[in-house]
Structure 1
Amino acid sequence: MLQNSEYNQPDNFISREISWLKFNLRVLREAGIKDLPILERLKFLSICSSNLDEFFMIRVAALWQQIENNINHPDVAGLTPKQQIERISKSAHTQTKLQYRYLSAILKELNSLHQIHFVRVFELSELSRNWLDNFYHEIIYPVLTPMAIDASHPFPFLANKTLNLIIELINYEQELVMAVVQVPSVLPRIVEVQIGCAEKTYVFLEDIIMHYCQHLFQGCQIIDIQPFRITRNSDLWVDEEDTDNLLKEIEASLRRRKNGDIIRLEISKSDNKNMKNFLISTLELEETDVYQILGPLDLTCFMNFACSEEFSHLEHPPFIPQQPLDINPELDIFDQVRQHDVFLHHPYESFDPVINLINQAADDPKVLAIKQTLYRVGGNSPIVAALARAGENGKQVTVLVELKARFDEENNVHWAKKLEAAGCHVIYGLYGLKTHAKITLIVRREYSGLKRYVHLGTGNYNNSTAKLYTDMGLITANEQFGVDASAFFNMLSGYCEPPELKKLSIAPINLRQKFYDLVDTEIRNAQAGNPAHIILKMNSLMDKNVILKLYEASGAGVKIELIIRGICGLKPGVKAVSENISVRSIIGRQLEHSRILYFHNAGEEKVFLSSADLMSRNLNDRVEILFPIEDINILQRIKNILKLYLKDNVKAHMLQSNGTYRRITNAKQVKTNAQQSLYALAKKNVIKQPLSLNTKLKPLYHRDNKY
């Protein structure tokens, strides 16, 4: 596939890790936009920090493992693991410094304009310090554990991402020694001073402990104290080949994850180098692994603060997911789906119809079977509760729970056990593959015989992220979709050969080839002098052969518009390579998560939705689904949504041929914010006010504040 073509040169690609850092920089720069409410800017700082944590825990850790194993294979851009580490270190250090410049500006603005003060203990009044003294002794002191470091006290084990204090002191034997105190994660990191302050005043938990640290080391002389934080390798490796019980192997791997190698040290900046050098030596790190911080460590602590109801006037005004255009909540959902396909656009339209569909199926005596895939379902999942109830009601319930969903493994193990206890058949997917497809099949006995209802989506069955991520779903009673869905689940649960499907395309079986065929059609149309146009929207584009195919299409004259939120290995606008390709990234209030594929197809337009990004892992190592939109009204709606994204000149950034991104700004154009426009459209489309939708659309964060 064009492996030896002129397109296949390292200079025509962007390194995955460098592209990711560029993405996180776009997230970070939202914190510097003065037009945003100030606490929204603070949230973006928190999100950026959480993103960096995961990047180091997974991506940087993997590169270090390659180096340790003497693997020097270059990436798509020609960079060896060592070269990638060097570039990552330089970029991440620069990004970290920018984070704290933004933080300093935000805290000053909170102080001067909003009377919200973050202070050091010594800046408090005597009355406030008296209150703090009582707070320390009653609340903080009982959970502190000072840990000496000497011949009889080895350096303690430090959990991943925990905040600690390193203390240099002279002990009662007049020896210069070190000690560690962990800042307890069971207590609030940001403490409001309750007495003696006319305005809102806060101190950081570690600053309180540092102020009272002498109390922990009586008889010793404290020389200096510095907060520090470590990041460990947290990738989960599971030996599927030599295990006969994947559930137990995942549980064992979760225990091993806690002991991963340390790959980053964050430490408060100080002129005293003794403690930093001690940690570097003890933790066996390189100087480049150390990030000296001028400010509070771990900015993820600001997310809960920024989401406080008390400060809602400093956030975006809340908006409520609307009743979907295609659903009347007063009518039976099965009756409506039999009449027409139902399109759902989250979070602008509520996720409630999906939950209601599973709830109704669980209790409907006509429903015989429910089959569903679960990747990330979150806590207190109403969908899992409905599936468990269906199992208890005697229905045939089959649930594929993906135990290897990164950082949701423990949660999914819990749900798998709960579903099994309820009498559901729980399966864990195909050997060597993650099941990332989003599909539900409901089999119902009706007057005309058995009827199959299918839900397909671009996002997870997670009622929390459905309020945060932009995703699309389709509910259909089309018999061909139903037949394909049955074959799909039989493939997952049994020993049958990969099925021949009429509507669905599945990775790793034929989704890649389906994509190539669709692109080839546009190439032929362009070569024949006909209009040829491709629009792709997704999270990430990194598969080398897919990029080469898009370069081939560009060379043939196909117009290609890409909307890629995160990493993108394709370079647009390169002469004789990608002159007909543009790439934009939208970073806004909601996380852009939907995967949409549009092909002009000589005027017979085709639109597909998918669970898959165009990444090698999605196309080769995951079970994914691509499905067509055949209802002409839904197809037109999705086209209009794509047009809005392509018109966005408020939250869009354009990728340049040199790998940098430039925010779109044009004072002469009418401002178009796609996300705001889509919400306004959802409100306009409402048939009537939602009957049960009183949940505010949450701000952009989830789990560890990931964006």
Structure 2
Amino acid sequence: MFNKEQNFLNRELSWLKFNERVLNEANSLTKPLLERLKFVAITSSNLDEFFMIRVAGLKQQVEMGITKKDDAGLNAAEQLSLIDQSVRKLVQKKYRFLKKIMTCMETENIFFTTVEGLSTSGREWMDNYFHNIIYPLLTPLAINASHPFPLLANRSLNLVVSLTRGVEESQIAIVPVPSVLPRIVEVPDQGVGKTFVFLEDIITSYCSYLFFGYVVKEVIPFRITRNADLLIDGEGAEDLLVEVEKSLRQRKRGEAVRLEIGKTRKNFLKDFLLDVFKIAGQDVYEISGRIDVSCFMKVTDVIGYDHLRYKPMIPQIPMELKDVKNLFDVIREKDILLHHPYESFAPIVDFIRQASVDPGVLAIKQTLYRVSGNSSIVEALIKAAENGKQVTVVVEVRARFDEENNILWARRLEEAGCHVIYGVVGLKVHGKMALVIRQEGSCMRRYIHMGTGNYNDTTARLYSDLSLFTADKEIGADASEFFNMILGCSVPTSWRKLVVAPHGLRKRLKALIDREIEFAEAGKGGHIIAKMNSLLDKEVILKLYEASSKGVKIELIVRGICSLIPGIEGVSHNITVRSVIGRFLEHHRILYFANGGNSDVYLSSADWMKRNLSERVELLFPIGDQKNIERVKNMLEIMLKDNRKAYIMKNDGNYQHAFSRGKTINSQEELCREAESRSCVLT
């Protein structure tokens, strides 16, 4: 009854709708100007990854002759056609918004110009900058019989140049734009405000210095996007680290999937590039504006324009942790729930730091998925090993686009004497847990931290996540079993309080939904609120449809991809789906089940996707303390009332703003105020 193609949305088209919601923030006139610019950059970066992974994968399916359809009834070729239509509209919208923002920036005395548009003093400065800084790094590459077309790295910006000399036919050269230099160059002393020139424009203006004896006829910027998905034989890889490092080298020269090129009336250079990269016309994007606008992210930090940015938010320290010298004493007494970025990530760093020097701590075990470039957590783990603690760290070296960073940290941890596990063959370790084992008198006590987000002190200021400190004995016992499982020593047949993927998380989710169905059928009402990043798992979606048809009220908060369609009569008429897009990236996974009035609340590292439930090591853990349960329920209620940053999905798969008259509710601002109040008054 429910398993029909019309009851599902295509994953890729759903993601594009999400990226459009992100882009819409760039056109929000209530948002500070440089914050609007930031969302243009984010959208561009998101789209790069989409092409490198999702579009590349679909192209491979077409090349291999795979015609299998997805849940929405679309094969790979059909998906690519629809993606092309959606992306082109999205790109047009992006440059339309960017043009508006650039005009507004001029009114704030932030100017982008060409070399020719500079003042006399500016031209003198630029002459010096080009000849002394840029020129030594340029490597013009002629393309002819003795000089074949060079290998150009994924997402590198280049110039293709048409040259003539006397009566000779046109020749072509490639000039890679040096990635080691700033893409946007500030020119000093140009009057009021700031003046910037793009690096590729500078090179274009001085291009004749690279080709003495030739006439430069045309210079066009271009960028190639390549397949960047890592090809790793998970089952056969004897050394996972070596396999990842090998695949990282291959990523730079993967097959071309998109060509972005500056718009030109002449097709000579464009046709040349199409032939070189063996790329179809439908994969070419002619850009009238700036290629790769993710570079504008650097401009959003320009000094002297604080009034064009959000007022800095100071992450709070909750009252129960203020002036605490020993975290273990507090955690032993009660569970501590933290809400990031509204509340500080510092207690988590302090947890590992204190463990690294505490004489009673004998061992630390921790998972690391994405860590920052200058990780305080990793430094504390290294310190712990140097202090003689037994330190075991599971580093997921296949965390997409963080592989190189994680490999570097893993090497440092090993050098310090930590026992490092490079993930698990066949599975990505995505669960977030730190376990500290401390001797207290004649007994050993376990202290645990778990969260919905990564152990990354940088993203903890940008992503919304929840995390929990606990000394619960049953969770502690499960935590030890969890690490034993990852280390390959055992697979528990049952767990006390934790639920772990791939060994039972999907089954538990379906059982929790079934329980709400039983309450609904008994006339006691059934209610589910679930917040996550993505909802794709077909089995879980079918179970939600069943629950809806039986009268269970289901409220979903899904930031990104959602294949479920709400509001279908007899199928999903009791389901609502909303997406919150605001200042912070909504990242936490929260589950609420009414349970006949005896509410259950869980936090998780897992989205409801097949990869999370079947192909990753994930965690679902309960909130035990009643005050914390009520606090999380209140958070969900605030998000469900958001009428400023929320979008509501309609039954055709499109989204509309959740604007309504009456009191304005911006959930992120409300949650910020709540954190501030908790830092003053113990709740």
TM tier relative to shorter chain: over 0.9
- State the distance in 2 between where 1:329 and 1:639 align: 28
Decide whether the 8 Å contact of 2:165 with 2:214 is kept in 1: yes
Task: Find the aligned partners of 2:127 and 2:597 in 1 and give their Cα distance.
Answer: 74
Pair 75,326 (structure 1): closer, same or farther in 2 beyond 3 Å: farther
Query: CA offsets, 1:554-604, max 9 Å, x none?
Result: 000000000000000000001111000000000000000000000001001
**Secondary structure of the corresponding residue to residue 547 of structure 2:** helix
Alignment of 1:87-236 (within 5 A): 87-111=82-106, 113-171=107-165, 174-236=168-230
Partner-residue secondary structure (3-state), 1:641: helix
Amino acid at match of 1:603: G
Contact (CA 8 Å) 2:154, 2:251: kept in 1 or not?
no
Bigger Cα displacement from structure 2, 191-200 vs 408-417: 191-200
Aligned-pair distance for 1:480? 0.4
Partner of residue 664 from structure 2, selected from 671, 692, 698 = 671
Aligned to 1:563, which of 557, 573, 577? 557
2:623 is matched with 629
Unaligned residue ranges in structure 2 (runs of 5+): none
Match of 1:296 among 290, 294, 300: 290
RMSD of equivalent CA atoms: 1.3
Q: Counterpart of 1:80 in structure 2: which amino acid?
A: N
3-state DSSP of counterpart to 1:566: coil
Deviations 1:316-357 (A, max 9, x none): 111110002442333411111111001011100001111000
Q: Which amino acid aligns with 1:289?
A: D
Letter in 2 for 1:207: D
Quote the Cα distance in structure 1 between the aligned partners of 2:288 and 2:560.
28
C-alpha contact (below 8 Å) 2:228/2:251 kept by paired residues? yes
* Cα contact 1:429–1:493 (8 A) shared by 2: no
Runs of 4+ in 1 over 3 A off after TM superposition: 195-199
Partner of 1:262: 256
Is 1:71 equivalent to 2:61 in the alignment?
A: no
Q: Which is further off, 582-591 or 384-393? A: 384-393
What is the CA distance between 1:499 and its match in structure 2?
4.2
Residue 547 (structure 2) pairs with residue 523 (structure 1):
no
1:604 aligned partner: 598
Choose which of 5, 9, 20 in structure 2 pairs with 1:10: 5
For residues 342-421 of structure 1, the aligned pairs below 5 Å read: 342-421=336-415
Q: Is the 8 A contact 1:131 1:195 kept in 2?
A: no
Q: Is the 8 A contact 1:128 1:197 kept in 2?
A: no
Matched, 1:456 2:456: no
Relative to the length of structure 2, the TM-score reads 0.98
1:40 maps to which residue? 35
Query: Aligned AA for 2:635?
Result: I
After superposition, give the CA deviation of every residue in 1:168-226 in whole Å (9 maximum; x if it has no partner): 11136712111111111111111122244344221111111111111111111111111
Q: Deviations over 1:87-116 (max 9, x none)?
A: 1111111111111111111111111x2121
Contact 2:186 2:196 in 1 (8 A): yes
Matched, 1:436 2:436: no
Q: Structure 1-normalised TM-score? A: 0.95
SS at match of 2:305: helix
Output the CA distance in 1 between the equivalents of 2:221 and 2:255: 20
Partner of 2:633: 639
Runs of at least 5 residues in structure 1 that lack an aligned partner in the other structure: 1-5, 690-707
Q: Equivalents in 1 of 2:83, 2:249: separation in Å?
A: 29
Q: CA deviation at 1:489?
A: 0.8
Structure 1 residue 688: deviation in Å? 8.5
Cα distance between partner residues in 2 of 1:186 and 1:235: 24
Q: Residue 494 of structure 1 aligns to a residue in which SS? A: coil
CA distance in 2 between partners of 1:190 and 1:387 (Å): 38
- Distance in 2, matches of 1:592 and 1:680, equals 17
Residue in 2 aligned with 1:694? none
Distance 2:347 2:116 in 1: 54
Looking at structure 2, the residues matched to 175 and 688 of structure 1 have their Cα atoms a distance apart, in angstroms, of 79
* SS of aligned partner of 2:554: strand
1:249-288 mapped onto 2 (5 Å cutoff): 249-288=243-282
How far apart, CA to CA, are the structure 2 residues paired with 1:355 and 1:243? 34
1:572 to 566, 570, 591: 566
Structure 2 CA distance, aligned partners of 1:325 and 1:513? 38
Q: Secondary structure of the residue that 1:309 maps to in structure 2?
A: coil
Match of 1:86 among 81, 85, 110: 81
Conserved? CA contact 1:132–1:193, under 8 Å = yes
Q: Any conservation in 1 of the 2:52–2:226 contact (CA below 8 Å)?
A: yes
1:380 Cα deviation (Å)? 1.5
SS of 1:419 mapped into structure 2? helix
The residue number in structure 2 matching 1:23 is: 18
Q: Provide the rounded CA distance (Å) in 1 between the counterparts of 2:191 and 2:268.
A: 37
How many percent identity over aligned positions?
53
Q: Using the alignment, how far apart are the partners of 1:481 and 1:329 within structure 2?
A: 27
**Counterpart residue type for residue 170 of structure 1:** T
Distance 1:329 1:249 in 2: 46
- Whole-angstrom distance in 2 between the partners of 1:497 and 1:194: 63
Q: Structure 1 counterpart of 2:97, which letter?
A: Y
Give the number of aligned pairs. 682
State the shift of 1:497 in Å.
Answer: 2.9
Distance change (3 Å), C-alpha of 1:518 and 1:100 = same
Report the counterpart of residue 309 of structure 2 in structure 1: 315
Q: How far apart, in 2, do the equivalents of 1:669 and 1:583 lie?
A: 22
Match of 1:699 in 2: none
Retained in 1: the 8 A contact 2:237–2:425?
no
- State whether residues 375 and 401 of structure 1, in contact with CA within 8 Å, keep that contact through their aligned partners in structure 2: yes
Q: Secondary structure at the match of 1:106?
A: helix
Question: What are the superposed Cα offsets for residues 144-182 of structure 1, whole Å, 9 maximum, x if unpaired?
Answer: 111111111111111111111111111367121111111
- Specify the code of the residue in structure 1 equivalent to 2:445: K
What residue in structure 2 maps to residue 61 of structure 1?
56
Residue 424 of structure 1: how far off its partner (Å): 1.2
**Equivalence for 2:416:** 422
Instruction: State how far apart, in whole Å, the 2-side matches of 1:357 and 1:448 are.
Output: 22
3-state DSSP of counterpart to 1:377 = coil
Query: Counterpart amino acid of 2:24?
Result: R
CA–CA distance in 2 between the matches of 1:403 and 1:225? 40
